[in-house]
Chains A and B, each alone.
Chain A
Amino acid sequence: MAISFFLVIVAKMGSSEQITSALQSWAAAKFGADARVEQLKRLSGGASQETWAFAVQTAGGTRPMILRRAPGGESKARSSEAIGLGMEAQLLSKAADAGVPVPPVLGVSEAGSALGQAFIMDRISGETIGRKILRDEEFDKARSLLAAQCGRALAGIHSIPADSLPDLPVSDGMSQLTKYEAIYRNFDLPRPVFELAIAWLKAHAPEPQPLVLVHGDFRLGNLMVDEHGLASILDWELAHVGDPREDIAWICVNSWRFGQSEHRVGGFGDLRDLLDAYAQAGGPQFRPQDIDWWEMLGSLKWGIMCMIMYEAFRSGADPSVERAAIGRRVSETEIDLINLLEGARTHA
């Protein structure tokens, strides 16, 4: 889930009875009068939406599901980046049509209804915790398949016609660099390593690629993995129209390798395997070095995101020890940037 391990969300008491009752009406209409909603439970995580787990019990058995719902059932003015729930449900349907592994959407409800603005999807079982996927024996086989599966899935996402999704934000590499540089400057906490990375990225901007639909947060943590590999791609809140190399590089950013630095793709795979599968599935044939610029941009972005989270502490908006501590993770991205800059200089 998007930066979920840093988020602590406390469920609003009193709303769960109301949600159960709204879900009960929906389930009875969809699955028959004997359908019963059970085990409603608020899950942590999700940057801007509520996520609930529940199950529908019928004579045929129990079916686990997920409810994604606008906070309090009402759509707020959206944050600068996160897309709305209606768009997220549309994206999931289009991704499924393109053969991308995503949870099937079972129902959509509008603002003003009993459930509020929300959608319901099947709950896919599997593991999302990066360290478990990288270390547990039960994922041995999955790890060997995952790079190619990610390549095929990304080719599928990038093949979805973006003009069928007119409300998506558009953001390419240079506009992201400009945006994050402005955020960083606004904090007035100068960091020479960031300055050097920003200058290097500006001086080495790659030739633009045709813009496509990108997931925007494609990395371990947002991938549901089972013993056969990639089971489902979650958290589409940061989807936008952008450069396909952004998605390929984000899962390569060292922060998302969870300690297994030697495997460039997510700490589990070889980038060539991902790129070959991507090309075989219809995407452009990229070389590993085509991803370098985007990986550096990714490390810089994550570093500035950590500063944003620390800013919530510094401003007093969130005085928790956890928000304070995240400010001391910025140096992780600085060492990654140094390692990447050294590599870039060696190869120049």
Chain B
Amino acid sequence: MHDAPSTAELVAAVKRFIDDSAAPQLTGHAAFHARVASNVLGTILRELEQRPAADAAERKGLLSLLGTTQNEDLDALNRKLCEEIRQGRMDVETAGLLDHLKTTTIAQLSIDQPNYSGLARALHPRS
């Protein structure tokens, strides 16, 4: 497979086209949707960069919480965790659970909406 240009380079080029060429010529709803589209490409760029490490860390946390070494994908592991919480076998006092969820949510939000106010609060809690 060719990797020049890379996926990130291609996405960044499309984002630049929207921001610098297309969006300035649009008005009304089309301009609004162009801004949303540009933000989505920003999300994709952050995801390309951050997702592999975030997924690996999430997987490690899930395996440790669930006490398993089974070779299941993230979705299956998260479904298991959801079931543990739903059945009352884990709750907010379970050692490591809230920390794991906080770490994975911070990682997800750093990709999705890095400027959201709740992220800053999670990273720098007030005493």
Contact = CB atoms under 8 A, between A and B. Distances in A.
The interface centre, meaning the residue of A198, A332, A338 with most chain B CB atoms within 10 A of its CB, is: A338
A195 B105 contact: no
Contacts of B98: 196, 338, 341-342, 345
A332 B33 contact: no
Contacts of B116: 332, 335
Interface in B97-127: 97-98, 101-102, 105-106, 108-109, 112-113, 116-122, 125
A211 B117 CA distance: 33
Nearest to A196: B85
B112 A332 contact: yes
B2 interface: no
A8 B40 CA distance: 18
B113 A199 contact: no
A344 B91 CA distance: 13
Given A199-B91, A328-B112, A329-B113, A339 B118 contact: yes
Interface residues of B, number: 36
Nearest to A345: B92
Contacts of B29: 8, 10
A195 B97 CA distance: 12
Interface string B33-50: 100110110010000000
Nearest to B94: A196
Given A261-B118, A331-B112, A331-B113, A199 B85 contact: yes
B86 A335 contact: no
B14 interface: no
A112 to B, nearest CB: 33
B75 to A, nearest CB: 8
B117 to A, nearest CB: 4
A49 interface: no
A322 B36 contact: yes
Interface stretch (A82-90, A185-193, A274-282): A185-193
Nearest to A324: B40
Given A196-B92, A196-B101, A329 B40 contact: no
B85 A331 contact: no
Contacts of A193: 101, 105
Nearest to A194: B82
B102 A338 contact: yes
Contacts, number: 104
A320 B33 contact: yes
A257 B93 contact: no
A93 interface: no
A192 B113 contact: no
Interface string B70-93: 000000001101100110100111
Contacts of A335: 105-106, 109, 116, 118-119, 121-122
A144 to B, nearest CB: 21
A321 interface: yes
B95 to A, nearest CB: 12
B105 A338 contact: yes
Nearest to B107: A331
A259 interface: yes
B85 A342 contact: no
A192 B112 contact: no
A317 to B, nearest CB: 17
Nearest to A10: B29
The interface centre, meaning the residue of A8, A192, A193, A203 with most chain B CB atoms within 10 A of its CB, is: A192
B88 A199 contact: yes
B113 A325 contact: no
B32 interface: yes
25 contacts: A8-B33, A10-B29, A191-B78, A196-B97, A199-B86, A199-B91, A200-B92, A203-B91, A260-B117, A261-B121, A320-B33, A322-B33, A325-B43, A328-B40, A328-B112, A328-B113, A331-B112, A334-B105, A335-B106, A335-B118, A335-B119, A335-B121, A336-B118, A342-B102, A345-B98
Please name the 8 residue pairs, one residue from A and one from B, whose CB atoms are nearest each other, closest first.
A190-B82, A195-B85, A335-B118, A328-B112, A261-B117, A331-B108, A331-B109, A336-B118
Given A325-B43, A331-B108, A335-B119, 11 more contacts: A198-B86, A321-B33, A321-B36, A322-B33, A328-B113, A331-B109, A332-B113, A334-B109, A339-B118, A341-B98, A342-B102
